[in-house]
Amino acid sequence: MTPLSDRKQRILRVLVEEYIHTATPVASEALVRKYALPFSSATVRNELVGLEEAGLIYQPHTSAGRVPTDLGYRYFVEHLMEESTLALDEQRLIRHQFYQVQDQLDQWVRLTASVMARLLHSAAVMTAPRSNEGRLKHFELLSVTDLTAHIVLVLSDGTVKQQRLLLETPIQQEELSAISDRLNRLLRDKNALEVAGLLTRLEFPPVERLVTTTIARILEQHGDLFGDVFYREGVLNILEQPEYSRMGPEEARNERVRKVMEVLEQNRFLPVLASQLNMTRGVQVIIGGENQWDEMKDVSLVVARYGQEGKVGGLLGIIGPTRMQYGRAIAVVRYMTQVMNELLAEMYGYE
């Protein structure tokens, strides 16, 4: 887009900040009065017309003030937003909370999501840390009935996977244990590709082939960044925001609530992250209509990957209305990423 003049940038910045704060369309007179702009109301109105023509703001109806568009928020995030960091008191409190649950990985994840939701009064999401490739540490076969068994895998990153197997002929626990012993010696420390290679090169009895094929499939699925364990905190925080509690007609509000709940409860944002986050490091901001999912047109995500590239990691982030405190959200996500990086480095012993 055409670069904005300094005056337009200044007006757009305070308009976005005011709307984020008040959730009310912003009038030119309010900007001049509250922010002591060195321009007349008439000048500000003219500049607002230019910002509207550029697609950065819009007017909900003729007599209303202006509201930022998704493009306006994007320009604000990339060019106008002041860098933000967490206060030292907040950092110390967070560190103290993690100190109390040290060496408890599942508690780290839950605490991280809880801290982000509390600091931003929004919804926080997080995946459990996992290796970017699954390697088998050990597995067990447990008899359930004559024709069913349960396979329990422990992977090298500590993840436990379970699946039921349907057997063609009855097999007792003693024989299942013997199969486990033989295959553990053969498959230990191998990834999905290596296990699949053994399946093509070696002859396996039918039951052992079934078990080995199942292990290969589980290991292959484990390489997915997003995994099958997803934590959410603060879902009700979003519903308390004006967009979902008081802005617009009741029917429109109910539709926004329905969509945001679908996003959060059915993990509708995962395809968006899969397409936009896989190849990117650092904090990512995805604003409203920048993705193709209709349910997400009214929300923004501030997300980041944590952990060590090629080792163990996951993602964490914030979901909220597009009228989000982006600077603080980025600061919180960046700091919590740093905390998780340090904890995982200490646990797994990498630099």
CA 117 – CA 238 distance, rounded (Å): 10
The reply to whether 102 and 193 lie within a common domain is: no
> Any alpha helices (H) in the chain, and if so which ranges?
6-22, 28-35, 41-53, 70-75, 88-100, 105-120, 173-187, 192-201, 206-222, 235-239, 242-245, 250-265, 270-276, 326-348
In a domain, 305, yes or no: yes
d(CA 264, CA 241): 15
Q: Write out the residue range of the structural domain in which residue 160 sits.
A: 136-222
Say if residue 210 is in the same domain as residue 334: no
Displacement of CA 284 from its chain's centroid (Å): 10
Domain CATH code at residue 163: 3.30.390.60
Torsion angle of the four alpha carbons 16, 22, 27, 28, in this order, in degrees rounded to the nearest 10: -50
247 and 336 part of one domain: yes
Same domain, 149 and 15: no
Residue 1 belongs to a domain: no
Same domain for 242 and 331: yes
Structural domains in the chain (count): 3
CA distance 351 to 348: 9
**Per residue of the chain (351 residues), what is the pLDDT tens digit?**
678 999 999 999 999 999 999 999 999 988 998 998 898 889 999 999 999 999 999 998 877 799 999 999 999 999 999 888 999 999 999 999 988 887 777 888 899 999 999 999 999 988 888 776 788 999 999 999 989 999 999 988 777 889 999 998 999 999 999 999 999 999 999 999 999 999 999 999 999 999 999 999 988 877 665 655 678 898 888 888 888 888 878 888 888 888 888 777 766 666 667 666 655 678 999 998 887 777 788 889 999 988 877 677 888 999 999 999 999 999 999 999 999 999 888 887 766
Q: What is the pTM of this model?
A: 0.77
Q: Give the C-alpha distances (Å, rounded to integers) separating 351 from 29, 98, 118, 128, 345.
A: 54, 20, 30, 20, 6
92's tokens: 């110390």
Last residue of a domain, one of 195, 222, 249: 222
CATH number of the domain that residue 21 is part of: 1.10.10.10
Same-domain status, 117 and 230: yes
